[in-house]
Chain A
Amino acid sequence: MYQLLKQIVKTGIVTERAPLPDTALREVEQRLGEVILKHFGRALAIRHVDAGSCNGCELEIHAMNGPYYNLERLGIKFVASPRHADLLLVTGPVSRHMETALKRTWEATPDPKLVVAIGDCGCTGGVFGESYASCGRVSNVIPVDVSVPGCPPAPVDIMQGILTAIAPDKRR
């Protein structure tokens, strides 16, 4: 126990500053009013859906919950059910075998809901494209608010995408 506590003290707090929202990542204008956004900014529940990725984006989503990024300190946490979620974080080209599951997950998420598409595949279909087995980009299957490109996008980029989804749209 002594070694464990010593290691915690020795490590200290390594968490870094969170990125600022970037309107350029938006696919559509912010649909939510400031009152709702104010609440989301303090307590946002995310349901991650892997709709067919290579699992590279998942590695970075995991990293985002690690100590350097520590997403939960911002009041943003991952939940186990879409029924508890405000935002869907979707990775991958959507495989046709996940098409129904993704649509059902989206339908099960209560309004107002947000969708952030992660990675080159989520944004464009990426190297997998569209085929007999792939629907391509996420927006081919469900409406997308924010897209975060990258293969895979770094944790700080994914954080920025999430924060953009719950930020007022400066263009308005």
Chain B
Amino acid sequence: MIVEKPFSELGLNAAALPGAMPAFCASIPAGELRGICEQARARKARIVALWGSDETQRSAGFALHLALAFPAGLLWLSVALPREDPRYPGIADIYPGANRMQRATADLLGIRPDDGADTRKWLRHGAWPEDAFPLRKNVGAAVRFAQQPDGYPFVPVEGEGVHEIPVGPVHAGTIEPGHFRFSIVGEKILRLEERLGYKHKGIEKRFEAMTLEEGAKLAGRVSGDSTVAYAWAYAMAVEGATGTSPPSRALALRGIFLELERIANHLGDLGYLGNDVALSFGFFQFWRLKEDLLRLNSRLFGHRYLMDAIVPGGVAKDLQRPDAEFLAGQLDGIEREVTTLKAIYDEHAGAQDRFIMTGQVLPELAERMGLTGIAGRASGMAHDLRTDQPIPPWQQLDPRMASHTRGDVAARVSVRFDEVFESMRLVRALAQELPSGVIRTAVAAAKAGARGLGWVEGWRGEVLVALETTAADRIHRLHPHDPSWQNWLLLEHAVHGNIVPDFPLINKSFNLSYSGADL
């Protein structure tokens, strides 16, 4: 249902954006940005993403883009900025989650907030100099900059007995690279400051050298553990921009893939959360079940993680009737075992003692800072795109949102268990009633300057893909956005007052993507 002028109360003339999800676009002058953000904040709209674009080849300057989530849908605001010294009024005081996104936009495009906010670099380390902006159109794909010295002003904490522990970028376990700077007293963590961007590999620039068809593979590798969510968001964006409607059988199969991805990741996390409290039994049991599921994926769909199973226009893998029944039967078996393991976790005093009240993010803080996704739902943020915007295939299924309010490791464990069971129900329901027909339709040709938006509730949280095309089916600008951007900020808060040895447990309970936010 599209409401007439849904954002008129913000003084906006927003145009509906064609596509699967309810989304609206509006251009505003820079001077109105803060006022609109303040009103949006008062109406409890969430920040989903902030990014920039270079419009100099279209005889304009630059543009700042902001995606806000309202009950009516997503609002994509664009602010035109001049070619020389592109500046805008920063919004990180209104939406704290915008801080690192603003800094990344400054690093990549030279578009800066003009307030006195945090202006430290974020994605830039040593790969390019301060006065070069690799995402600008005048920087060719073949350009390489000399390696620069890389200093970073961490916020110092002083006082009697305070000392620092630097960790990373190369970690002690099989973890993605990032740097954590702990300021501690005794065993207690006073402050954690993250420094990420080590995995920045130029994904957004890469997209701009690709056709819409080629981009699908790259989109599925922004964050490998969320390959289905990204591939779907990308396909949704391309379909919106080109006016393509994927067949209903493809939508049901996408739903199956997304929920299988959610189950697999949750099983893996539940195993590691056991492992991190010295319950290695949990690790081996859950990783056995996860492996069973991955092998099932491989057998039915040809890939353990379902990479490249979703393509613009539909899906690349079908599910026949006998296989659908086999899938449902296998999930029944896994579900029985997860039920047994949940009872063991619930009654294991040692595990619960470590889980409960560890790494707590209370709902008030979660709301203020914009915690999202599964961690948000464990802290009272009752948002899940599958229930908030029940487009097909969720429409008929009435997905049940898992939630909790205590916001500790135990709450994040509990939400994961609930979501595993619900996702199994969804997969079985979708597999049982697969609509007949084709699984893929041809993607229509894109007009230059067409916009498309993909917005999908991945296992970690909402994944956004914002696309603008250029002529000949190529990508003018594509911003893939991981929920980890927002949630990394809250991890810094979740560890306050906890002991250093609980950090791996707290970190695992969020399980954020480095690759997805480093781009």
Contacts and interface: CB of A to CB of B under 8 A. Distances in A.
Contact of B206 (A51, A78, A129, A152): A129
Contacts of A95: 127, 198-201, 518
Contact of A133 (B134, B227, B285, B291): B134
Contacts of A58: 174-176, 224
Interface string B210-238: 00000001100111110100000000000
B201 A56 contact: no
Given A54-B222, A97-B126, A66 B291 contact: yes
Given A97-B125, A101-B170, A131 B176 contact: no
Contact of A66 (B143, B288, B305, B340): B288
Interface string A62-96: 11011110000000001011100000000011011
Given A97-B198, A129-B206, A152-B224, A55 B513 contact: yes
A105 interface: yes
Contact of B199 (A59, A62, A97): A97
A44 B281 CA distance: 24
Contacts of A61: 174
A56 B206 contact: no
A96 B126 CA distance: 8
B12 interface: no
Contacts of A60: 304
Interface string B181-216: 000000000000000011111110110000000000
B224 A55 contact: yes
A109 to B, nearest CB: 11
Interface stretch (A6-14, A25-33, A162-170): A6-14
B461 interface: no
Contacts of B394: none
B288 A131 contact: no
A139 interface: no
Contacts of B206: 127-129, 131
A50 interface: yes
Given A54-B224, A56-B221, A134 B169 contact: no
A154 interface: yes
Contacts of A11: 285, 288
A101 B224 contact: no
Interface residues of A, number: 51
Which residue, of A58, A59, A81, A133, has the highest number of chain B Cβ atoms within 10 A? A133
Nearest to B198: A97
Interface residues of B, number: 60
A100 B147 CA distance: 10
Contacts of B151: none
Interface in B314-332: none
A100 B150 CA distance: 11
A59 B206 CA distance: 24
A169 B77 CA distance: 60
A134 B202 contact: yes
Contacts of B125: 96-97
Contact of A52 (B141, B199, B305): B199
Interface in B325-345: 340-341, 343-344
B459 interface: no
A78 to B, nearest CB: 7
Contacts of B141: 131
Contacts of B347: 3
How would you classify the secondary structure of chain B's contact residues: helix, strand, loop or mixed?
loop
A53 interface: yes
Contacts of A35: none
Contact of A128 (B134, B139, B201, B305): B201
B165 to A, nearest CB: 14
Contacts of A54: 221-224, 515
Given A4-B344, A50-B175, A132-B128, A97 B200 contact: yes
A154 B295 CA distance: 10
Nearest to A68: B291
A142 interface: no
A6 to B, nearest CB: 9
A151 interface: yes
A12 B347 CA distance: 22
Contacts of A52: 177, 198-199, 201, 515
A57 interface: yes
Interface string A108-144: 0000000000000000001111011110000000000
A99 interface: yes
A4 B291 CA distance: 20
Interface in B127-152: 127-128, 134, 139, 141, 143-145, 147
A125 to B, nearest CB: 10
Contacts of A151: 221, 307
A67 B515 contact: no
A37 interface: no
A130 B143 CA distance: 10
B285 A80 contact: no
A18 interface: no
B287 interface: yes
Given A55-B515, A132-B128, A63 B225 contact: no
A133 B200 contact: yes
A59 B269 CA distance: 11
Contact of B344 (A7, A99, A105, A134): A7
A133 B147 CA distance: 10
A80 B287 contact: no
A144 B201 CA distance: 21
A80 B515 contact: no
A127 B514 contact: no
B173 interface: yes
Per CB-CB distance, the 5 closest pairs between chain A and chain B, nearest first, are: A56-B224, A66-B287, A133-B202, A80-B172, A96-B127
Given A52-B198, A97-B125, 7 more contacts: A4-B281, A48-B173, A53-B515, A59-B224, A59-B305, A101-B169, A132-B143
6 contacts: A52-B177, A52-B515, A54-B224, A63-B291, A93-B201, A95-B518
